[in-house]
Amino acid sequence: MTATNVTFKVFRFDPEKDTEGRYQDYTLAVAPGETILNCVNRIKWEQDQTLAHRFSCGSAICGSCAMKINGHATLVCKTQAMDKVKDGVIRIDPIGNLKPLRDLVVDLTPFWKSFEKVEPWLAPDAHSAPEKERLQTPEQFAKIDNSTTCIMCAACFSDCNVLEVDKRYYGPATLAKAHRFIFDSRDARTEARLRKVTEETGVWDCTHCGECSTRCPTETKPLARINEIRQAAMKAGMHDTSGARHVLGFRETVGKRGLLDENYVPIRSVGFFNLAGLLSLAPVGLRMLARGKNPPFIPHSIEKAGEVRAIFAKREELNK
Ligand code: SF4
Ligand code: SF4
């Protein structure tokens, strides 16, 4: 096996000496099949014992070793080093949306705190306690199979772009954890849980960018779980949020007219009688008008709108 020389550009930060982070280069001969965790361990053990990083099992189970590799979060024990070399270099940073404490170690407090919002424990009906354990059928378990695989590595939290701008957002891992209990056949608090995660800063604030699912090293795939929660909330008639009204507005315009009416949907989303909400749209509307970006007041007619309506109608029929 031929080893290749690779430069590791590693983020360093010592709170006792540095006011901001810097990069330090280390060169290693990397053998085919070596993981990035192995390389970081070798840097520490063979070249620089001051480097701080977290790891434990080395088997993609404990979730301790998430780091940013070339700008994206990944579990480094599961990542082949040679797959990430770009022009002879691999850049390593601490995971994002969390404060670096030292080098590659971050303060995970906001990540752990976010789980408190969804009471991540089973709440079965106390009045119907069975004599032995509460059983599930394979079909019932299948509904939570994916969300139970989360290893709490925070890779999704790191790369979520909503968390970058709004620290109040529940975050993908927390919403996946909520899913795990909302869809658990043994839990008795389904409706209250659904209400909680559909409130402001919950599932409707996700922008569908998909980063969380791309970065997730397990089958949790948070975006898919978020979508399942949204569907469950809509089915349960929880339509009194701007996110739900946005979906309804979308359905009404695309379903009935075969096109998206961009003037109608924002107004439908904030609510027709919500004066403060309607006024909050005014600055954006005026800016769009000033720059000629406003959608036409009477939507363009489009060819084959009837086909779009027919697809929508078929979908609605299947949903029923
Ligand atoms: S899909 Fe939603 S939760 Fe996932 S990273 Fe994007 S905004 Fe965050
Ligand atoms: S959802 Fe995936 S990426 Fe997020 S903490 Fe769980 S395992 Fe990690």
Contacts of 309 (CB under 8 A, 6+ apart): 255, 256, 257, 258
172 lines ligand 1 (CB under 6 A): yes
Domain boundaries, the chain: 4-106, 109-235, 242-319
Kindly list the distances between the CA atom of residue 180 and the CA atoms of 137, 144, 209, in Å, as whole numbers in the listed order: 16, 5, 22
pLDDT top residue among 188 and 316: 188
Q: Atom 5 in ligand 2: which residue has the minimum CA distance?
A: 152
Please check whether residue 137 is in contact with residue 173, taking contact to mean a CB–CB distance below 8 angstroms: no
Which listed ligand is nearest to 61 at the C-alpha? 2
Residue whose C-alpha is closest to residue 174's, from 209, 122, 212: 212
Q: Which of 67, 162, 174, 220 to mutate to test the pocket of ligand 2 (most atoms within 8 A of CB)?
A: 220
Query: CATH class for domain 109-235?
Result: mainly alpha
Residue 96 Cα to ligand 1 middle (Å): 14
Q: What is the pLDDT of residues 216-269, one digit of tens each?
A: 999 999 999 999 999 999 999 999 999 999 999 998 998 888 888 888 999 999
Which DSSP helix (H) or strand (E) runs through 254? helix 242-257
What fold, for 4-106? Ubiquitin-like (UB roll) (3.10.20)
Which three-class secondary structure state does DSSP give residue 7?
strand
Q: What is the pLDDT of residues 68-121, one digit of tens each?
A: 999 999 999 999 999 999 999 999 999 999 999 999 999 999 999 999 999 999
Residue 226 Cα to ligand 1 middle (Å): 9
Percent composition of the chain: helix, strand, coil (DSSP 3-state, to 5): 45, 10, 40
Residue 212 Cα to ligand 1 middle (Å): 5
Whether 313 shows a pLDDT value over 80: the answer reads: yes
Q: Which residue(s) pair with 22 in the sheet?
A: 12
Is pTM beyond 0.85? Reply is yes
With tokens 């008008």, the residue in question is 289
Which DSSP helix (H) or strand (E) runs through 138? helix 138-145
